[in-house]
Structure 1
Amino acid sequence: MAAETDNVITIHNFASKMSTFDPNSTGKQLYGLVDMGSNGIRFSISDLSEPRSRLLDCMYKERAGISLYDALHESAPDSKAFHFSQKTITQVAKTLSRFKRICDSHGVAGKNISVFATEAMRTAENRDEMLDAIHKESGLVVDILSPEMESLFGAMGARSGFNQVDGLFMDLGGGSVQMTYVDSSTGAGYDVLAAQAAKSLPFGAAKLTAALSTRSTAAEAKVELQGRMKQTFEGMKSQFPKLKEQIEKDGGVSIYFCGGGFRGYGSMLMHTETIQPYPIPAIGGYSVSGDRFVKWKQMLKANDYDGKIYGMSKRRREQFPAIVEVVHALVEAVPKIKQVTFCSGGNREGVLYMKLPTKMRESNPLPMLPGVTYGAIADDATIASVVERLSLALPGSQPSVFSPELLDHIARNIWVHTGDSDDANSARSLHHPISGSLAGLPGLTHQIQAVLALTMCARWGADLGPVDRPLQNNLKELIGAELSFWCEFIGTIARAMAIVIPDFPREGLSSGPDRDAVLFKSDVAHGLGKKGHKSGIKLQIAVAKQSQEGIDLGKLEDMFSKVGKGLHLGWTVEAEVV
């Protein structure tokens, strides 16, 4: 095996690799990244320009199906173990040269193009030959990540999709599986602490598949995997008292997964959900309880299905028994798993995320989600006044998912597309968070995507055609009846606000002509409904006299009578215009 060279990025020298981002730049900040993984080579070009740097906007993405792991273990007559053939070296060099040309066509500065490699390149005996060929063909320099840095970038790439995280972070690639613990609440330096604690186990999906293919090595590989997984987790517990407490006293540990192997397991979980078709296609932000995650035997059986499984390539299906063995070993090592979340981010997103200043990295991504822009009139104070009005309409018992940041996004989009018909806007709003420009962005778990879809659909009266009603029903089933009720209520509040104030309040709702146009007061109440058997919300809507012209106030009240219908909660809303 080749000795460590200057190409290997370690914890001690990675800071210099992250120094090209300039938060004060007025021009576009484009970054090209190549991740030379064991199962494939992935390219991307991302825009870190303000004000949406935190969202790590991807402009271009591509994958070359070149397995460097397979290339190191070819069985051709002239092949040599742990050596890339000349054919593979040429193919990889030309592939990276093509990506360099794509970066040039997009205007990516040379200093902003990064190429990094992981397990396969770490173990290749003739990796210097590969590095020289790539540089000669494309001018690009490849950085080989140490196992700790691979864990850091993988964990930070997964972490980039959330506001706060606390749990194990694991990455299953073709050549190795990484584990570390990340608690973003501990403050500055938690990322380096996670990297220093990270462990890399040589049980990637491709490597383990090869070991399981022969009877002589399969049993030994399983025993070694389970032993080392348990040893690794016990080491994490000894390093992080909070993790130990979660296992021994709390409800268990949360786990965040990235890497193609774990995403394949997540795709199988989605395929076997009781809600079918599962309403959100992207794996990023998908969560299941620990009780469901541990049913690896059922997932292995599901892989025998002859038809197409969404998110599972032929190669991933072939590697799935090895993926299940990793999951099995994890389940045996971790006694209490509370919840698992599958992440779309990986090494490339981790590299981008680590380029950002600390304050920007730790900011909540939700307020930065793309929405309508009203030019200079959509200042923070104006939006804040709309958020305040929405908050005052709530009785104070709504679920925590309706955070100020989520209400901020709703406020920015209440008056979008007011020139279109309600039915078109209902369908558009339903699809936008799950398959439109919001899909896959940081901050959007499947729960939040469903909440946004249902809330904004209700803002337009949920006037849906037969093709979209099954999607609406599946989203409601995904988040449950109670949360669906609140989506309908808040969406209807937004609709009522837009009826009384038909244009974006340019001077805000804290001052200006729209200040007292419409006010809401709500309380949780009982004895509602015609027979007095229901609970729910008693809502008062105060509409200023000058704002009543041309408005059917009775219709304004009736809108709220539809909230909660069909959810079988026994909840209702009684609205009165005063």
Structure 2
Amino acid sequence: MKRVSFIDLGSNSVRFVITEIKDSGSYQLIYQQKESIRLSENMWDHNRLTDEAIERAIKTLTAFSHMATAMDSDEIIAVATAAVRLADNGPEFLELVKQQTGINLVCIDGLEEAHLGFLGVVNTIGLDDFILFDLGGASVEVTLVNNRKIVESVSLPMGALTLTGTYQEGAEMSEKERKSMLNHIQEVLKEQKWLKDKKLPLIGIGGTARNLAKIDQRAHNYPIAKLHNYELTFDRLEEIYESVCSKTLSQRKKINGLSQERADIIIAGTAVVRELMQYTDSQVMIVSGCGLRDGLFYKYYGEHYLNPSGIMDNILIHSAENILLGMNKIDLIHSKYIARLSDALFEQWCKEYEWPERMRELLRVTALLHDIGKVVNYYSHARHSAYIIANSNLYGLTHREQAICGFMASNTHGANNKFIKTSPYGRLLKGNDLPILSQVSLLIAIAEAIDESHEQSAVSVNTEFTPKDIIVNVWTKANKDMSMADVMIAKLNKQCKKDFKKNLIVRWHESL
């Protein structure tokens, strides 16, 4: 087992996480902290980090260094970005950090900053083609991604903090000042012709993107508080922009979802996002809760455990198996076996019922994690599984898809529609999601019943469909007692009649 600390010292905030990597290769975040230190505040008159900002940074980094020691962290990987990169006294600051905290803080260039942000996103959001932006206090890194590879990347020296400091003289930003700021943003973007009218989804990293999502969620009564992979349309962004521009600082501090510490720079931050969406002709911004610090982890994990690129081939299955590795060995083997059986059944049944192909991937994830709730309590573990699945770091799923997986897990052990209707996640479902997830979850329940003894007795399955019956033929290893499987399968006939209007029949055959 190993514990590694990661520090991302930005121009506005400093983020600190400790990740534990087990001998199995599974990993888990065990501690995180964020502090707003505004390192770049008031540095632009003389292009130097101020004594006050340095003092705030040293104080916070000293505390983080202590936490790393207290939590038995084996090493600290720490990077600094735009503020330190652009400050004339940046090298002196790095040396001071080393002397006073013991942390070897490395200042990375804009391309490396963009690459780390890319690693944080490409491993946690299931898109192949997108435009990524990481908006900080002093800069914004913009990256064009095609087929999960970086095509072009640039670091632009305009952040929420620096734009506010440059264009706002008084306590409030006047309309004239705001127009001057917008003109500047537009002129900077016009130089990046490779971004013009790409019509790709925009993925946003950073405090501004997260705060915009929170504001939108609160305004529209979104049923859950999850930010990662939340979608914000341009029309809604425009509403938020007009709202923050029309309010005074004291009024902005009262906006539901907006952090008070960001109220003074939210106009500039929102303006950058708005202009970027217009310039690229993006209709939606997808918020990423994972960014540079996560990229640091994936770079480290790739180099030591996976591959030098740090890019996962299948982020959904990888993240599901990472969660699964926390189970005991018997349940782990059983879950992977159930996933294979369920997949075989899906291959046969989807030809008859024409489910969306995407359901196959959701089935695989649910089958792998359907018993994960046992780590809470065996009793009602299906409902515990539903909660864990809906709230885990399952990357590559939309919020709605994650809810579907959770409800399919609950259905495998007989949870009813009332459970779904009373869950806040139930509001995320659309159209015929409910009947389809109920049908598909039966496949996992059948596979679970076949392997009730956890002996992995079944070798193969084949399904026949008649007007009145669904007949599942199961070939087993020789001399296997399937009596307990018969008991469990009998309990599923009621669900089969409800969802398919047919009887469920399972026939056993010994494999030669």
Give the stretch that moved more between structures: 156-165 or 421-430.
Answer: 421-430
Q: Which residue number in structure 1 is paired with residue 67 of structure 2? A: 102
**Aligned pairs for 1:290-305 within 5 A:** 292-301=233-242
Residue in 1 aligned with 2:40? 69
Q: State the match for 1:428 in structure 2.
A: 384
TM-aligned CA deviation for residue 374 of structure 1: 4.8
Of the three residues 362, 369, 382, the one matched with 2:337 is 382
Q: Is 2:127 the counterpart of 1:168?
A: no
Task: Quote the residue 1:556 is aligned against.
Answer: 492
What residue is the counterpart of 2:401 in the other structure?
A: 448
Distance 1:419 1:33, change over 3 A: closer
TM-score, with length taken from structure 2: 0.81
How big is the shift at 1:441?
Answer: 4.6
Structure 2 Cα separation of the partners of residues 48 and 417 of structure 1: 22
Cα separation, 1, equivalents of 2:56 and 2:375: 52
Render the CA deviation track for 1:275-334: whole Å, top value 9, x for unaligned. x3x23322112235xxx3244331235556889766531123433322321132123312
Q: Give the CA deviation at 1:50.
A: 5.6
In the alignment, structure 1 residue 30 sits paired with structure 2 residue 3: yes
In the alignment, the residues of structure 1 paired with residue 77 and residue 471 of structure 2 have an alpha-carbon distance, to the nearest angstrom, of: 56
| Residue 482 (1) aligns with residue 432 (2) | yes
How far did residue 90 of structure 1 move? 3.1
Q: Which amino acid aligns with 1:401?
A: R
Partner of residue 204, structure 1: 159
Q: Quick one: distance in 2 between partners of 1:310 and 1:561? A: 47
Q: CA deviation at 1:121?
A: 1.5
User: Does residue 326 in structure 1 map to residue 272 in structure 2?
Assistant: yes
Q: Distance in 2 between matches of 1:361 and 1:331?
A: 27
Residues 415 and 129 from structure 1, CA distance in 2 versus in 1: closer, same or farther, beyond 3 angstroms?
closer
The answer (yes or no) to whether the contact 2:12–2:40 under 8 Å persists in 1 is yes
Alignment of 1:273-422 (within 5 A): 273=220, 276=221, 278-288=222-232, 292-301=233-242, 311-335=257-281, 337=282, 339-355=284-300, 356=302, 357-358=307-308, 361-368=311-318, 369=320, 370-371=323-324, 373-375=327-329, 378-379=332-333, 382-383=337-338, 385-392=340-347, 394-396=349-351, 397-404=354-361, 406-415=362-371
Q: Secondary structure of the equivalent of 1:58?
A: strand
Shift of 1:96: 1.4
- Determine whether 1:43 maps to 2:9: no
- The RMSD of aligned alpha carbons is 3.5
What pairs up with 1:97-176 in 2 under 5 angstroms? 97-109=62-74, 112-162=75-125, 165-176=128-139
Report the 3-state secondary structure (helix = DSSP H, G, I; strand = E; otherwise coil) of the residue aligned with 2:203.
strand
Instruction: Map Cα deviations across residues 387-441 of structure 1 (whole Å, 9 max, x no partner).
Output: 334424532432233344x433322334556899999345423322233xx1x35
d(CA) in 2 for partners of 1:401, 1:204 = 39
Q: Deviations over 1:60-103 (max 9, x none)?
A: 11112211122536xxxxxx744334343233223212222222
In structure 2, do the counterparts of structure 1 residues 549 and 399 end up closer, same or farther at CA, with 3 Å as the change threshold?
Answer: closer
Using the TM superposition, give the Cα deviation of residue 41 of structure 1 relative to its aligned residue in structure 2, in angstroms.
1.0
Change (3 A) 1:89 1:403: same
TM-score by length of 1: 0.72
Query: Can you give the 5+ residue segments of structure 2 that lack an aligned partner in the other structure?
Result: 475-481, 506-512
Shift of 1:467: 10
Give the SS at the match of 2:269.
helix
1:263–1:342 Cα contact (<8 Å) kept:
yes
CA distance in 2, matches of 1:175, 1:69: 7
Residue ranges of structure 1 left out of the alignment (5+ in a row): 1-27, 74-79, 238-243, 526-537, 564-572
Percent sequence identity is 20
Change in Cα spacing, 1:417 to 1:428, as seen in structure 2 (3 Å) is closer
Cα distance 1:546–1:417, how it changes in 2: closer, same or farther (>3 A)?
A: same
* In 2, Cα distance between equivalents of 1:96 and 1:41: 9
Aligned to 1:20: none
Residue correspondence of structure 1 range 463-474 to structure 2 within 5 A: 463=416, 469-474=422-427
Alpha-carbon distance, 1:450 to partner: 1.6
Q: Taking structure 1 as reference, are residues 301 and 88 closer, same or farther at Cα in structure 2, changes over 3 Å only?
A: closer
Deviation at 1:472, TM superposition (A): 4.3
Distance in 2, matches of 1:419 and 1:445, equals 25
Distance 1:324 1:86, change over 3 A: closer
SS of the aligned residue for 1:102 comes to helix
Number of residue-to-residue matches in the alignment? 476
Matches within 5 A, 1:175-324: 175-184=138-147, 190-191=149-150, 194=151, 197-210=152-165, 211-212=167-168, 213-215=172-174, 217-232=177-192, 234-236=193-195, 247=198, 252-273=199-220, 276=221, 278-288=222-232, 292-301=233-242, 311-324=257-270
Structure 2 counterpart of 1:200, one-letter code: S
